[in-house]
Chain A
Amino acid sequence: MSRIWNFHGGIHPQENKQQSLTIPLRQMPLPKRLTLPLQQHIGTPAIPTVKVGDKVLKGQRIAEPSGFVSIYMHAPTSGTIVEIGDYPVPHVSGMSAQCIILEPDGNETWIEHQGVEDFRTLEKAELAEIIRCAGISGMGGAGFPTNIKLHLSDDHIVNTLIINGVECEPYITADDMLMRERAAEIIGGIEIAAYLIKPTHILIGIEDNKPEAAVAMTEAARTSKLNIEVVVLPTKYPSGGERQLIKLVTGVEVPHGQLPADIGIVVQNVGTMSAVYQAVHDGKPLISRITTLTGKALSSPGNLEVLLGTPIADLLDFCGVDSSKQSRLVMGGPMMGYTLNTAQIPVIKTSNCVIAGTLEEFPPAPPAQSCIRCGNCEQVCPAELLPQQLHWFAKGKEFDKALNHNLMDCIECGACSFVCPSNIPLVQYYRYAKSEIRNEQQEQRKAEQARIRFEARQARLEAAQQEKEERRKARAEAASKAQAAKRKAPVTTTTDSAIDPEAELKQLKTQAAVARTKLKKAEKALQEAEQNGADNIDQLKQDIESAKQKSELAQKAFSDAENKAPAPAAPSLKDLKVAAALARTKVSKTEKVLADAEAKGAPSVDQLKNSLQKLKEKAEQAQKAYNDAEASETAGNVSNASSSQGTQSTAASTSAAQPIDPPQNDVKALKSALAIARTKLKKAEKALAKAEEEGIEELEDLKQAVAEQQAKTDSAAAAFAKAEADCQTAKEATNQGPDIKALKTAAAAARTKLKKTEKALADAQAQGSASAEPLEKALSGLQAKVVQAEKALQEAQAQEATLA
């Protein structure tokens, strides 16, 4: 008999174990439906490998691990997978999680399975793999995958294997019953575990309130070749806690922040050992477990062998629950278990006990009184903490102090709450503080990462900026050098300029641009000055005048040079395109400015309108130039141009009249333009709605803006549709067959728009708004469009049919 040590604190609550031990182990009949949560263990949830409607056999794999700390799941019986979805799972929060729902067929047909004759012939890794494939996780409470604990890396040398048969929580007798009924199986499992981790000592810890179990285990241990020692421990809660049990039987404390394995100790639950035995010797995966059903609301409490996934409601019915008496449904023991808010929760791999308690059994906790610092909590704390100090810290949210008082070493056993004369929910304070601390730490980590990324980005941007600056400097230097060279050798310069008139042109252009910018700035300054009523307006105006003159001069010089410059062999199509795009952007910008100005009722509206007109003209010109160029190019290449290109160019010339209509071959660009226009419209509408709500005066303006936007969107949409249609015809011309899909989309889009407009119209009419009329018009237009689109679609379909 080895020595028994002691740990600090502990309590002796009423055991209430005999109630569930009067009847021997019973088999729970097959339920109608099994709910199998994908997370029954610590770690990441398993991933289903079956689909809804699949027929599965008993013991068939239905989910696989999603990571290292994850497990396999198996069908507890044969049947059909009817659903994979969210259902309430056994968890304190009462939340739902993904479950596989299995409807048993009642046949209990096993999948082909085979045990291992002699596990000693297997490699350790193979044996661990068998355990892994059986989906075994710790059955004591935490649910850590067993294969990981039994197949440690080489740097762990295990000298002690402790089997936990303590079961210190009141009410629970599942392990007691298991040890009485299946002692041999447990010993078999221990032999396998011993083979895997090669410990020098094997200890089975059992509390002295389970004499039958201790006798059964001692008897069974005698049959084994291994030196297995049954250690009978004095009954005290929480001696079944892993760290407490280690202290009890070895006298060693697991250092803070380390695992038992780090000091050469592995603790396994008796239920886990039995499951390991079944997996290795019979090839049966973990599909059932022993669960204690107890509580005063049950007429026949006892232990049941239950298939995983069986709803607790079925178990309660089986044990004759009197639901009128039941006031609290507890999953787990009364010290650490949690209440369930529904009985439709399944039994999982870690469910060792369900208590249907009556009001007299679990009276509601009386209201908490003030802490009188009696120190009872400290006397019973098995982790030797100062619970009352932690309570003050948690209450005052002084989490760093709580951390310093080793809050994280709290095992949440509930002993302190149990003895507290003021009924303070101490454990909940600790749980709350712990999760707050964890959150805080996680947030801090995230913030740290964000900070690093932000700083890295900042550095990158700076570097890019610097590089740009350097390049600019280098260019400037080169330019000045070139200038110097020019001055030194005037003869060569002329040839230079003759050779490179483009560079000069560029320079002139830059000058013109600079002059313009200056002008703009001056204008802005003037505007500000006017607003502020400054004195120096006159001077500013003069400045502007001179700036204007300069700008004009520069512009003139530039255009002169441009005209003079020998035109390049053919104006680059690309350049023209860019110019056209630029012009368009300018137009839209000016439009925006104009809209703003209108909204604000600024006096500069007329001026802006003028400039807009000019810009539009310019844009048109640019577009035209581009189109012309394109057309000429096409014409130049007419010999090898296909008919489709011809179509394109004609289409281009027809669409040239529309300033915002780009060449139709860029359908994608149009699409995004359309999207932007739509968004703008949306925004405008939103603004309008807001304005209507607020009853703002410039409602009319806004409405107008919305209508304009609508018109723009429509035109954009039309352009898009047209472009698409053009593409269509082009495609048709190239005999590729009509793109029905696109047409369909167009038709659908048109229909959606129609619907929306109808809705808007209805709204408008309901509100009696003035915009109803234009909306109606737009609606009829849209209707026509829809008809058109549908017609086009039909035609296309018909065409395709004939082609086919």
Chain B
Amino acid sequence: MALLRITSPHILKPGRTGNVMLQVILATLPGLAALCYYFGWGPLINVVWAAMLAVLFEVAVIRLRKRPVTFYLNDYSAILTAVLLGLALPPFAPWWVTFIGIFVAIVVAKHLYGGLGNNPFNPAMVGYALLLISFPVEMTRWAPPSLLTESGNLGLIETLKVIFEIVDLPDAYTMATPLDTFKHKGALTAEELWSQSPLLSQGLDAWYAISGAFALGGLYLLIRKIYTWHIPVSMLVSLILVSGFFYGSDPSNYAPPLFHLTTGAVVFGAFFIATDPVTAATSNKGKLFFGAIIGLLIYIIRTWGNYPDAVAFAVLLMNLSAPFLDYYTRPRTYGHKKSNRGIKG
């Protein structure tokens, strides 16, 4: 009978960090399925390839840091990062793009900062942003949603061959995303754009479905109390409000709120990227600000910035200000008249 001095509490709630990560991975499945439905095998191959690389890098780095490998692998955070990055990549992203992205995400963005819990930036988004800046051609090579092409999707083997650059991607399989199209509409008004490319409005249907699938996974996580509603809701609401305001003032020049909400990685980002607890604000009030400013930033960058999509940059920018938000949104402690602001009294 070993009677040791053990600190209270003596009972713990079941559920560990690894479990949390697994739930999140699970919740991405509907979104992954939707992506695969519309874009073929590409997304799945990306995710699997990314996960394999992530485990490899994670093991290597943990070895280098002389830490127990299985203990750290068991938190599944590396696989989650890989899945998130894999989902964000274009369906036919070459293998080396994924390789570089994962390397940056796991080694640079996570472990160089001290590993899980100490990274100031969302690793997946760091990887994604780096790829977007470095390889704009590869990173914008989106396939057309399958229902738009007569021949249907490429088969598994063909997709693998394309991704591992054994064959070139046929031109028919590249197409700009709706965001890209809208971005480069030039002098055309919105109405003209819609009428000019019927494919665009049809392609939007695919994006509605994909966003819906990701939202479904997000709802599951909300119900399982993996995170609170604050960040996704404030982020989506702020985006709707801002885009609604501009659309209302000039519908011919600005895209409608629904367009902004469903294209690109907004829903995915709201439920899976911005909610990453490590890099987000922690107090409830802070989370509201965090999400809302991300929404605002997405709109600003999309509309007036250089890049058609902006989730990665918006999230990274807010990652940077999360500690600041935390310091200035500290809850009022029981028995105190007001909360202390900042870190020094």
Contacts and interface: CB of A to CB of B under 8 A. Distances in A.
A337 interface: yes
B5 A417 contact: no
B117 interface: yes
Contacts of B337: 255
B333 A383 contact: yes
A334 B330 contact: no
Interface stretch (A131-139, A151-159, A385-393, A759-767): A385-393
A365 B13 CA distance: 11
Interface string B3-17: 111111111110111
Contact of A362 (B11, B17, B77): B11
Interface of A: 7-8, 11, 13-14, 92, 94, 170, 243, 247, 253-258, 323-324, 326-330, 332, 334-342, 355, 357, 362, 364-367, 369-375, 378-379, 382-386, 388-389, 400-401, 403-406, 409, 412, 414, 417-423, 425, 427-428, 431
Interface stretch (B170-178, B206-214, B277-285): B277-285
Contacts of A326: 1
Interface string B32-76: 000000000000000000000000000000000000000100010
Nearest to A419: B13
B12 A336 contact: no
A378 B228 CA distance: 12
Contact of B9 (A247, A335, A369): A335
B336 interface: yes
Contacts, number: 169
Contacts of A11: 13
Given A337-B8, A365-B6, 16 more contacts: A243-B335, A253-B334, A256-B336, A328-B3, A332-B8, A335-B8, A370-B116, A372-B17, A373-B280, A373-B282, A374-B227, A384-B334, A386-B330, A421-B19, A421-B20, A428-B7
B344 interface: yes
- A-B complex: 5 closest residue pairs judged by Cβ atoms: A370-B117, A414-B9, A428-B7, A256-B335, A406-B333
A312 B17 CA distance: 38
A515 to B, nearest CB: 67
Taking chain A's interface residues, is the majority helix, strand, or loop, or is none over half, making it mixed?
Answer: loop
B234 to A, nearest CB: 15
Contacts of B3: 328-329, 339-342
Contacts of A384: 331-334
A365 B12 CA distance: 8
Given A375-B277, A383-B334, A386-B330, A431 B10 contact: no
Nearest to B226: A374
B282 A421 contact: no
A8 B13 CA distance: 19
Interface string B326-345: 10001111111100100111
Given A404-B344, A423-B16, A7 B6 contact: no
6 contacts: A328-B10, A338-B8, A339-B4, A375-B228, A386-B283, A406-B336
Given A335-B8, A383-B333, A406 B19 contact: no
Give the residue among B6, B115, B335 with the most A Cβ atoms within 10 A: B335
Interface string B101-131: 0000000000000011110000000000000
B149 to A, nearest CB: 42
A13 B17 contact: no
Nearest to B9: A414
A741 B334 CA distance: 71
A370 B118 contact: yes
B2 interface: yes
B9 A341 contact: no
B66 to A, nearest CB: 16
B90 to A, nearest CB: 29
B334 A13 contact: no
Given A373-B282, A405-B340, A418 B333 contact: no
Contacts of B277: 372-375
A243 B227 CA distance: 28
A418 B282 contact: no
Contacts of B330: 386, 405
Nearest to B335: A256
A94 B337 CA distance: 39
Contacts of A332: 8
A336 B10 CA distance: 8
B12 A423 contact: yes
Nearest to B118: A370
A423 B345 CA distance: 30
